């Protein structure tokens, strides 16, 4: 058992590294120290002992010429397509346990959800669904040390160095403003923090001190709930409007028109595509296709559906939020 643990330990990160030996890091420290008035000695100490995470580096690896060649050659080969991607995705995101936990989460923080819904106009079930999908209502906020991870991604070669350098800068400023030790915070492989998995730069734009303790702490449910609602509202949520509805079409597989959250259609031009139940929405719609094992499920996505994709740029993500929210709402109404 001990040998297995040691093996897994080294699979996650390399030995600690002294980043103060690198000229690029010294320039970064100098800049941060001057711009944010952070003690240079304190920063030198922070950067002198950093765990270098391997898994995030693999995820954001640079694309080599060899990789490009392999992709091109793979395209030439005849591929067998296996349907059922939505079946697999939805089983992970919208299962009975996630629904039950969502109901309990709302009931536990009922006052906060009521106040937040009144302030931002975003239904409680959608805020809860986002937190449920992001971190299982706070049960899995990530196991990576955020500072070490951001340093790794900012200064070890990968395709998003510039982005993570900005996030590291914001994280250090945030640690000063909110008065926490940057070495003690854990998050995702990308450096996202708290129940709603905000990147450090999103704290400033969307973070809310809902519990009025003088700090924005997204590891606390009250602040996380309000901050997620604020994010959704500021990205264009329309209170009282539809999100999505399932539609019918001829056949089992839909290939006639382009699908996805980026493409808009006037409903009058979508001949042969009809909502399965009354849907009083006059705006343009997106066609959202869910690939199931036996057939394609097709949906109309409204403006609010697009707003959810601002949180995560994926039609499947937005649909999982919508369907989980609807199941949570149904259970709440039954109670």
- The residues annotated with a catalytic role in the active site are 134
DSSP track, 258-292: --STT--B-GGG-TT-EESS-----S-BEEEEEE-
Helix (H) or strand (E) holding 322: helix 315-334
Nearest to 20 by CA among 42, 40, 47: 47
User: 94-120 burial, b for 16+ CB within 10 Å, e for fewer?
Assistant: beeebbebbbebbeebeebbebbbeeb
Two structure tokens written together for 37:
């008035």
CA 155/CA 282 separation, integer angstroms: 49
Cα separation, 164 vs 150, in Å, equals 6
Burial zone of 90 (CB within 10 Å; 0-12 exposed, 13-18 middle, 19+ buried): middle
Residue 331 to residue 94: CA distance in whole angstroms:
14
Q: What's 50's DSSP letter?
A: B
HEC readout, 182-247:
HHHCEECCCCCECCCCECHHHHHHHCCCCCCCCCCCCCCHHHHHHHHHHHHHHCCCCCCCCCEEEE
Maximum Cα–Cα distance for the chain, whole Å?
68
Instruction: Give the Å distances, CA to CA, from 260 to 156, 249, 264, 271, 314.
Output: 34, 16, 9, 18, 9
Q: Evaluate whether 169 touches 32 at the Cβ level (below 8 Å).
A: yes
């Amino acid at each position: 058992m001990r040998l297995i643990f040691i093996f897994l330990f080294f699979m996650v990160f390399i030995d600690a590294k002294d980043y103060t030996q690198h000229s690029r890091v010294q320039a970064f420290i100098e800049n941060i120290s001057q711009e944010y008035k952070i003690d240079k000695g304190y920063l030198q100490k922070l950067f002198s002992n950093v765990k270098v995470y391997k898994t995030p580096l693999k995820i954001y690896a640079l694309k080599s010429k060899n990789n490009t060649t392999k992709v091109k050659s793979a395209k030439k080969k005849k591929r067998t397509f296996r349907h059922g991607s939505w079946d697999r995705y939805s089983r992970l995101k919208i299962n009975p346990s996630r629904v039950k936990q969502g109901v309990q989460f709302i009931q536990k923080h009922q006052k906060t959800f009521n106040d937040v819904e009144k302030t931002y106009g975003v239904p409680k079930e959608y805020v809860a669904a986002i937190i449920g999908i992001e971190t299982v209502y706070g049960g899995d906020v990530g196991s990576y040390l955020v500072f070490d991870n951001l340093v790794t991604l900012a200064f070890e070669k990968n395709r998003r160095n510039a982005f993570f350098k900005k996030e590291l800068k914001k994280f250090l400023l945030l640690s000063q403003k909110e008065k926490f030790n940057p070495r003690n915070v854990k998050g995702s492989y990308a450096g996202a923090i708290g129940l709603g998995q905000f990147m450090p730069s999103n704290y400033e734009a969307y973070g809310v001190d809902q519990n009025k303790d003088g700090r924005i702490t997204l590891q606390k449910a009250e602040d996380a709930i309000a901050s997620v609602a604020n994010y959704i509202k500021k990205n264009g949520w329309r209170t009282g409007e539809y999100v999505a509805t399932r539609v019918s079409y001829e056949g089992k597989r839909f290939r006639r028109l382009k699908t996805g959250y980026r493409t808009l259609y006037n409903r009058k031009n979508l001949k042969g595509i009809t909502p399965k139940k009354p849907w009083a929405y006059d705006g343009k719609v997106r066609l959202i296709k869910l690939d199931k094992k036996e057939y394609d499920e097709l949906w109309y996505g409204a403006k609010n559906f697009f707003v959810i994709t601002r949180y995560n740029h994926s039609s499947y993500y937005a649909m999982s939020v919508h369907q989980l929210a609807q199941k949570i709402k149904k259970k709440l109404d039954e109670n």
